[in-house]
Amino acid sequence: MRAGPIAVTLVLLAAACQEPEQGRRASPSPEPTSPSASPSPTPTGTVPLRRVRVRLVRVATLEQPLGMAVREGDPTLYVAEKTGRIMAIRDGRVLPRPLLDLSGRVSLGGEQGLLGLAFSPSGEHLYVNYTDLRGDTHIQEFPVRGRRVSAGEGRELLFVDQPFANHNGGNLAFGPDGYLYVGLGDGGSGGDPFGNAQSLGTRLGKMLRIDPRPTGRRDYSIPPDNPFVGREGARPDIWALGLRNPWRYSFDRETGDLWIADVGQSAREEINFQPASSDGGENYGWDRFEGTLPFEGGGLPDAIRPILDYGRSQGGTVIGGYVYRGSDIPGLTGAYVFGDYFEPSLRAIVRQGRRVVARTELGVEVPSLSAFGEDHDGELFALSLSGPVYRLAPAV
């Protein structure tokens, strides 16, 4: 691992991928093993993707920011700090009072803390994902009254016992269907020792899809079209499986497609693509595969290959972003923007079907990249665990 400017806390994401090989992983293949790519024009952009360059505009400096969300009818940017606060950025300044402060409840371990946030489509509720002082995961709902949220009014939707201190996932996102998607890592350690990612009997290593509204004795409802509803031994809230640590994922606001960046073990980082037409149930392969490489024997014929994977020469912890749908950088339109914690250059790819047909580096670097954000207009932001929050702007 590389030492960062804020010491141990900066290994939040580093530890997610730097684990022993355990003698089971196949040797890395030559770069790249992802679908073939070429410097062709973007399908929707106005210039070839290889020519697109951006600049970074610092909009705030916070304490270990790692998640951002916006609320319906509110121009404010809300940013989660790892240490437990949600701060508001409005009109270019950070408001002194947090929207929500859970500092006394969250663990400060390397891959723990306040890890994600999302507002309901109506803006009436805030949802947070955090690890408590014992290292277990909580998904909680808070009513939003005006611009105030009371820490004492939280309602627990979901509690997940975490067997180890790493691979907690942490992201939350509402899909175009109005349901809440919850990404959970495989439970940690290295190599998924309990086989969680391939087991339908546990939520670990999964993407969950739930309706946050309670029903009967449940703290939330199960969408009736979830793929494993009614299957014996399967948890009905599972939407997809075979994930190691889906740290960040997002929906394309125009098409509804889901992009999942899954942090690798010791050889490959991967980005998975799920079309909006999916009925769920995809198996993304971990721990039988790491990216496109066999890990524990491969041999999983229904595994979905990543749309892109890359090796350690290009980074060590993938940080998923968004498909750009703003107006400030026309050449990026339709491109998926992402990065890596260890390699600070921001990148973009364009797909056609399940193939990457263009890729580029955007000419800017964000050291200790932890997450991306998207505002109401589709403009993108990049967050650094060392403090800065940047807006992506067209290069001058």
Residue among 164, 120, 112, 119 at smallest CA distance from 138: 112
Dihedral over Cα of 54, 341, 253, 290: its sign: positive
pLDDT in tens, 83-134: 999 999 999 999 999 999 999 999 999 999 999 999 999 999 999 999 999 9
Residue among 381, 374, 380, 393 at smallest CA distance from 62: 381
Query: Confidence band (pLDDT; 50, 70, 90) for 40?
Result: very low
pLDDT in tens, 49-80: 999 999 999 999 999 999 999 999 999 999 99
Is the predicted pLDDT of residue 22 greater than 50, yes or no? no
The pTM score is 0.91
Is the predicted pLDDT of residue 2 greater than 60, yes or no? no
Average pLDDT over residues 344-371: 97
pLDDT in tens, 155-167: 999 999 999 999 9
Rounded (5°) CA angle 391-393-396: 140
Residue among 373, 381, 390, 248 at smallest CA distance from 319: 248
Is the predicted pLDDT of residue 353 greater than 60, yes or no? yes
Dihedral over Cα of 94, 97, 102, 108: its sign: positive
What's the pLDDT at 122? Answer: 96
Domains with residue ranges and CATH for the chain: 37-394 (2.120.10.30)
Query: Confidence band (pLDDT; 50, 70, 90) for 44?
Result: low
